[in-house]
Amino acid sequence: MFMRSTAALAALFFVSTAPLALAAEKPTDPQIAHIAYTAGTLDIEAAKLAIEKSKNKEVVDFAKGMERDHEAVNKQALDLVKKLKVTPEDNDTSKALTKAAKEEDAKLAKLKGAAFDKAYIENEVAYHKQVNGALETLLIPSASNAELKDLLETGLKIFRGHQQHAEHVAGMLK
Amino acid sequence: MLSLALALIASPAFAATIEITIDKLVFSPANIQAKVGDTIEWTNKDVIAHTATVKGGWDVMIPAKSKGNVTLKAAGTADYFCRFHPNMKGHVEVAP
């Protein structure tokens, strides 16, 4: 199954021709902040769609958790960039993430019932896996400000929990 | 009689508060031993909310950067988890 965000992240982070190739070009702190914030916002939007469409309690509870946690982390991120006087800078990774998310949302919007639940949760598993991989291998090592790095590390722990939670729910839907 | 009176007066003082910290989605310490009447207090250092929940038992909300507590009413062992992050787990042994 083709996954929006997964494909976009894979293209950006793991393919050598990508604009943000791993070793060649490290993202700057303003870019990292923008990527992390964007990744959170996109997951909140997907969660809102799931809360609206799904009738499965496990799926809705999971989606509410995504909304709650990502809003909390993004608020921390906003407070931090304000404190550091950093202006998040839009970049190709953020743009690709947003474009891929729009495509996935359009696909999810057409699905109903169990098919929607399955597609949403499977994408959540893949999305968190890829974002966590990007945090671990690229964003955290590239961050130069210690507080930004710390927030990203906290985020990674939270998002690993999300991934496990999504895997658990995906297992229940089978 | 005197000893009984002392016991009655003293017993509430024996009720302890056991502190558990939540940091980066980990209950620490994860395993504790307590007595009936003791209170467990969780301090959440994370920016996200957690719960300490026992299936069919207590369900304590622990908001971000805040605290939550429960007073233990029954003896036995309890496995608890966070409803929001089910991979967070803790264990309590409650002596009578």
Distance in Å, alpha carbon of B10 to nearest chain A alpha carbon: 43
B48 with A168: Cβ contact below 8 A: no
Enumerate the residues of chain B whose CB falls inside 8 A of the CB of residue A65: 84-85
Instruction: State the Cα–Cα distance between residues A50 and A46, nearest whole angstrom.
Output: 6
A113: left (phi over 0), alpha (psi -120 to 50) or beta: left
Does the pLDDT value for residue B5 go beyond 70? no
Quick check: B84 contacting A, CB < 8 Å?
yes
Average pLDDT over residues B14-33: 94
Instruction: State the Cα–Cα distance between residues A172 and A58, nearest whole angstrom.
Output: 9
Distance in Å, alpha carbon of A81 to nearest chain B alpha carbon: 16
Both structure tokens of A119: 């597609």
Instruction: State the Cα–Cα distance between residues A84 and A86, nearest whole angstrom.
Output: 5
Does the pLDDT value for residue B9 go beyond 60? no
Q: What does DSSP assign to residue A15?
A: S
Q: CB–CB of A165/B88 below 8 Å?
A: no
Ordered DSSP codes for chain B: -HHHHHHHHHHHHH--EEEEEEETTEEESSEEEEETT-EEEEEE-SSS-EEEE-TTS-EEEE-TTSEEEEE--S-EEEEEE-SSSTT-EEEEEEE-
3-state class (DSSP) for residue A134: helix
Q: Return per-residue pLDDT of chain A as tens, 174 residues.
A: 444 555 555 545 443 334 443 444 789 999 999 999 999 999 999 999 999 999 999 999 999 999 999 999 999 999 999 999 999 999 999 999 999 999 999 999 999 999 999 999 999 999 999 999 999 999 999 999 999 999 999 999 999 999 999 999 999 998
A69 with B86: Cβ contact below 8 A: no
What is the set of domains in chain B, with CATH numbers? 15-95 (2.60.40.420)
The pLDDT assigned to A20 comes to 42
B47 with A168: Cβ contact below 8 A: no
3-state SS of A32-67 is HHHHHHHHHHHHHHHHHHHHHHCCCHHHHHHHHHHH
B36 phi/psi in degrees, rounded to 5 = -55, 135
The pLDDT assigned to A174 comes to 82
Does the pLDDT value for residue B8 go beyond 60? no
What is the set of domains in chain A, with CATH numbers? 28-173 (1.20.1260.10)
The pLDDT assigned to A36 comes to 96
The pLDDT assigned to B15 comes to 87
Both structure tokens of A55: 């009738």
Q: What does DSSP assign to residue A20?
A: T
Enumerate the residues of chain B whose CB falls inside 8 A of the CB of residue A154: 24, 46-47
Interface contacts A/B by beta carbons within 8 Å: 37
